């Protein structure tokens, strides 16, 4: 703030008022720190690349894509690109929408037995006629690169359990963002909106492990606004475009927006733009730090997938050497 324009002739009272007005203006126009997930993910990929270069064997990642959903195809393409960049060996399995559950299970079994593969990722959602839980259960736990297996989730939730072999990527990405931003979690009030197996539930467990006091909101939660308003840390994983408004956010809170939603936008060539579950334009004036959408949690999810692949590969090498 520049106070040098204050004239020597003005009274102390006038000067004090001017100073106060300037401070107020700075406060209301202040913008949260934008947590740059793209840059953070790039740093992590560079760290992992250096780690991979020291390994005797390249880690291997298998990505299974079923059907022709454009969003799934885009995610898979981004994951494969990140894997290639760090020189991870990758196996692609692309199956048609009409694939039977039996055929898909057979493909997973083949990957379970493939010694070049350390991690298997089956891109969700799967077509309606396939039972997702059965397919996920068929992935060997030591190749469960998404960390979704009951054993990995169970160990994540247990106090004093074994260390999970892999942590779910999006929740791990959220925690890594908090860590790299220097956000204190101990004793803080955290609210997680959403309780899905892949995001909300593991995020709430991870925050609890970091000594935050965690409240989980979901579709049946009453008066969610007032719960969110008390939170020092808000993680939104709902799938509802801009549901969390700026006036729900406690001044100075840290906001991690996991949501990826399409919002109509006639100014864009494709007719829409991507927005989060939080109204970024409002929340950035209240929060102390916030993740953007896109460019926030998304790239971190992919970086965590690479990290999990490297960890599973290292664990296997260690097991085989024992």
Ligand X SMILES: NC(=O)c1ccc[n+]([C@@H]2O[C@H](COP(=O)([O-])OP(=O)(O)OC[C@H]3O[C@@H](n4cnc5c(N)ncnc54)[C@H](OP(=O)(O)O)[C@@H]3O)[C@@H](O)[C@H]2O)c1
Q: How far is CA 119 from CA 113, 193, 198, 302, 312, in A?
A: 11, 29, 17, 13, 7
Sign of CA dihedral 62, 67, 71, 74: positive
Which residue carries 């909300």 as its tokens?
A: 200
Stretch that binds ligand X, among 95-103, 207-215, 216-224, 314-322 (CB under 6 A): 216-224
CA angle 250, 255, 258 (to 5 degrees): 140
Residue whose C-alpha is closest to residue 199's, from 238, 162, 164, 226: 238
Using the rule CB under 6 A, which residue among 90, 138, 170, 308 binds ligand X?
170
Using the rule CB under 6 A, which residue among 119, 168, 194, 292 binds ligand X?
194
123: annotated active-site residue: yes
* CA 245 from centroid of its chain's CA atoms: 20
Q: Is 69 in the site for ligand X (CB under 6 A)?
A: no
- How many Cα neighbours within 13 Å face the side chain of 10? 13
Closest separation in Å from C-beta 131 to ligand X: 16
Which member of 58, 79, 143, 250 is catalytic? 79
Are the C-beta atoms of residues 34 and 256 closer than 8 Å to each other? no
Closest separation in Å from C-beta 296 to ligand X: 7
Residue nearest to ligand X (CB): 196
Q: Is 301 in the site for ligand X (CB under 6 A)?
A: yes
Using the rule CB under 6 A, which residue among 67, 239, 246, 295 binds ligand X?
239
Using the rule CB under 6 A, which residue among 237, 278, 286, 289 binds ligand X?
237
Number of other CB atoms surrounding residue 282 within 10 Å: 16
d(CA 205, CA 183): 17
Which member of 118, 123, 144, 205 is catalytic? 123
Q: Is 235 in the site for ligand X (CB under 6 A)?
A: no
Q: Is 215 in the site for ligand X (CB under 6 A)?
A: no
Cβ distance to ligand X smaller for residue 120 or 224: 224
Closest separation in Å from C-beta 120 to ligand X: 18
d(CA 21, CA 100): 68
Which member of 118, 144, 146, 232 is catalytic? 146
79: annotated active-site residue: yes
Catalytic residue numbers, as ranges = 79, 123, 146
Which residues contact ligand X (rule: CB under 6 A)?
170, 193-196, 198-200, 217-221, 224, 237-240, 258-261, 297-298, 301
């Amino acid at each position: 703030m520049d106070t040098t324009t204050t004239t020597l002739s003005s009274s102390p009272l006038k000067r004090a008022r001017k100073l106060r007005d300037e401070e107020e203006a700075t406060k209301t126009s202040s913008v949260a720190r934008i947590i740059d997930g793209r840059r953070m993910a790039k740093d992590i990929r560079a760290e992992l690349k250096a780690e991979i270069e020291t390994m005797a064997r390249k880690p291997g990642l298998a990505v299974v894509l079923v059907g022709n959903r454009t969003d799934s195809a885009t995610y898979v393409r981004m994951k494969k690109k990140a894997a290639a960049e760090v020189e991870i060996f990758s196996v692609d399995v692309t199956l048609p929408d009409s694939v039977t559950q039996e055929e898909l299970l057979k493909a997973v079994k083949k990957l379970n037995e493939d010694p070049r593969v350390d991690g298997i990722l089956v891109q969700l959602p799967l077509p309606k006629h396939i039972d997702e839980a059965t397919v996920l259960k068929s992935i060997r736990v030591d190749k469960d690169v998404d960390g979704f297996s009951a054993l990995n989730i169970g160990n994540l939730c247990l106090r004093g359990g074994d260390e999970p072999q892999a942590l779910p990527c999006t929740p791990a990405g959220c925690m890594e963002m908090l860590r790299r931003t220097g956000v204190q979690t101990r004793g803080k009030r955290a609210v997680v909106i959403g309780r899905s197996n892949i995001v909300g539930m593991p995020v709430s467990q991870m925050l609890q492990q970091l000594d935050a006091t965690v409240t989980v909101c979901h579709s049946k939660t009453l008066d969610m606004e007032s719960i969110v308003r008390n939170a020092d840390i808000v993680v939104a994983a709902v799938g509802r475009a801009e549901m969390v408004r700026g006036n729900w956010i406690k001044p100075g809170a840290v906001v991690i927006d996991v949501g990826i939603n399409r919002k109509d936008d006639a100014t864009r060539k494709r007719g829409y733009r991507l927005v989060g579950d939080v109204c970024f334009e409002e929340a950035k004036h209240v929060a102390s730090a916030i993740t953007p959408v896109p460019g926030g949690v998304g790239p971190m999810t992919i970086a965590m997938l690479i990290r999990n692949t490297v960890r599973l590969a290292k664990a296997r090498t260690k097991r085989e050497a024992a």
